[in-house]
């Protein structure tokens, strides 16, 4: 079976991590299956994944999975037969790094609120030949950041770096990194100054800022998400994952 699925080339691998970014959903489990042989069963590959978590949560680490076409099913934790998202055929290519996100709203309250859906990202897209990102490591003096808009309630956002701090603590001015990003958008990796505060603005108002331990020699993804739902709607919040690092002494707190 494996020989047939891999065209006689044996088992090669892709590297994948999963993120739960559905703000009104309970923890989830992720299953994989062979589309051609679904009757053989489904294998759990990530369990009890809580909102705001990206796993594996070790910096620049991913889980190895066979580089073949798989079915992916995401269910509430412990409810294997109650999928909230199912990708019947997701192709994983050898040597590629993927981040597969669950996004949207489980209980949409209006026509303009996106339902739950999968958002698959390739973290080393365009790398030739595919080498798990090793040929796309940042230079030791570069910090690169990719932005993902994953907040269903938020409109288009603008992302800036630097600027002036106002009396109310907000930021104004600065260099524009992203002119406009809407829900589900993922930018390219952009070189940023780790010393400058990154501000995410919705309709001109700062809704989230990114500061802290953003280091040279490192590639990150910053996700616009929410803090746990509160009365009055979702509260914008930015979290990050480490996608690649050019040095081994990086110390990052786990996401859950």
Q: What is the CATH number of the domain that holds 185?
A: 2.60.40
Plot region of 80 (φ>0 → left; ψ -120 to 50 → alpha; else → beta): alpha
- pLDDT of 252 reads 46
Identify whether residues 86 and 10 lie together within a single domain.
Answer: yes
For tokens 């809407």, name the residue.
182
Identify whether residues 5 and 111 lie together within a single domain.
Answer: yes
Identify whether residues 154 and 188 lie together within a single domain.
Answer: yes
pLDDT per position as a tens digit, 188-200: 999 999 989 899 9
Identify whether residues 58 and 163 lie together within a single domain.
Answer: no
DSSP H helices, the chain, are 2-5
Identify whether residues 30 and 55 lie together within a single domain.
Answer: yes
Q: Which domain holds residue 206?
A: 137-256
Distance (Å, rounded) from C-alpha 157 to C-alpha 237? 13
Question: In the predicted model, is pLDDT for residue 6 greater than 80?
Answer: no
Query: Structural domain tally of the chain?
Result: 2
Question: In the predicted model, is pLDDT for residue 233 greater than 90?
Answer: no
Final residue belonging to a domain, choices 103, 118, 136: 136
Identify whether residues 230 and 131 lie together within a single domain.
Answer: no
Mean pLDDT calculated for residue range 75-85: 96
Identify whether residues 212 and 173 lie together within a single domain.
Answer: yes
**Kind of pairing between the strands at 97-103 and 13-20:** parallel
- Lowest-pLDDT choice from 134-143, 162-171, 202-211: 162-171
- pLDDT of 254 reads 47
Identify whether residues 11 and 41 lie together within a single domain.
Answer: yes
Burial class (CB in 10 A: 0-12, 13-18, 19+), 65: middle
pLDDT per position as a tens digit, 149-184: 999 888 999 999 988 777 766 667 789 999 999 999
């Amino acid at each position: 079976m494996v020989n047939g699925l891999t065209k006689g080339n044996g088992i090669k691998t892709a590297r994948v991590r999963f993120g739960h970014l559905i703000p009104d959903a309970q923890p989830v489990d992720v299953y994989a299956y062979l589309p051609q042989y679904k009757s053989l069963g489904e294998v759990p590959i990530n369990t009890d994944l809580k909102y705001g978590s990206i796993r594996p949560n070790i910096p620049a680490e991913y889980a190895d999975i066979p580089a073949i076409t798989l079915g992916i099913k995401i269910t509430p934790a412990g409810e294997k037969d109650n999928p909230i998202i199912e990708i019947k055929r997701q192709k994983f290519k050898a040597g590629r790094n993927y981040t597969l996100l669950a996004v949207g709203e489980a209980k949409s309250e209006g026509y303009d609120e996106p339902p739950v859906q999968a958002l698959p990202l390739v973290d080393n897209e365009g790398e030739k030949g595919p080498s798990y990102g090793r040929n796309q490591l940042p230079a030791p003096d570069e910090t690169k950041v990719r932005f993902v808009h994953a907040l269903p309630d938020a409109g288009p956002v603008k992302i800036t770096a630097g600027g002036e701090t106002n009396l109310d603590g907000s930021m104004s001015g600065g260099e524009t990194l992203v002119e406009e990003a809407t829900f589900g958008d993922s930018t390219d990796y952009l070189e940023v100054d780790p010393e400058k505060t990154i501000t995410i603005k919705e309709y001109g108002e700062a809704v989230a800022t990114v500061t802290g331990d953003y280091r040279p020699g490192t590639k990150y993804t910053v996700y616009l998400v929410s803090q746990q739902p509160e009365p009055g709607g979702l509260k914008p919040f930015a979290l990050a994952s480490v996608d690649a690092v050019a040095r081994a002494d990086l110390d990052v707190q786990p996401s859950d």
